[in-house]
Structure 1
């Protein structure tokens, strides 16, 4: 199976507001009430995932296999955050993205993310077999 509809340069953007639930203090990744790194990386992955959703065959999906990110600046509660994902490489079933995040003031995160296309049933069956 090849991802023939996935092309270098495809992009997607998603946004969210920084709420108390998305702070480092609430998520357990730190002690301060600022946007948590796990929340930022989740938004970055969401941008990448949505880029591919409609382009994989019926019965297939993509799973994240790597994420390398620098969280460069803090964002307070109440600000909006925007995550952007852009396809930079397609190798068989593996898709590589550049991911970036911004608040209203500046770029707050940057990195790379890889996703891999899998058959849903086969993937879930293998995971369930661990019981």
Structure 2
């Protein structure tokens, strides 16, 4: 299982009045982690979009454990939790700079044609992505 790690320097604009990262910003960090994982697998999500394929979120779960604050470094670990040739679930662990768990999350996606939102089979249309996802997904 491949785990991609991305460090993020927390900016002031990402915090709320309590001085902690606003909860919705973790979703943005998950996207950064996902994009980084895809890149580490040797692919480019922007190229997929140029071909008229997008990958919307169809479900997201997040459990907030410990806040991250302005000026700290957040560490986003991302992996392929589940994959079946059509849908993919990414797992996330966001850590504080001290290595404590801040957020545990999952997001589920399906690839669709941008113009019609009709699902496509990654397995059939992108066999190289399929093979990489099969090879690097979490083993139970």
TM-score, normalised relative to structure 2: 0.66
Contact persistence 1:44–1:100 (CA under 8 A)? no
Give the match's secondary structure for 1:112.
strand
Residues 1-16 of structure 1: matches in 2 within 5 Å?
9-16=1-8
Instruction: Tell me how many residue pairs correspond in the alignment.
Output: 109
- Equivalent residue number for residue 90 of structure 1: 83
State the SS of the aligned residue for 1:14. strand
Residue 15 of structure 1: CA displacement? 2.5
SS in 1 for 2:115: helix
Work out which of the residue numbers 1, 14, 17 in structure 2 matches 1:22: 14
Gaps of 5+ in 1: 1-8, 26-31, 124-131
Give the drift of 1:90. 1.1
Pair 1:118 & 2:112 matched: yes
| Aligned residues: CA RMSD | 2.1
Displacement, 1:88? 1.7
| Structure (1/2) with the larger strand percentage | 1
Deviations 1:47-104 (A, max 9, x none): 1244347277533231111111111111221001121211021123210121110121
Q: Which residue of 2 aligns with 1:129?
A: none
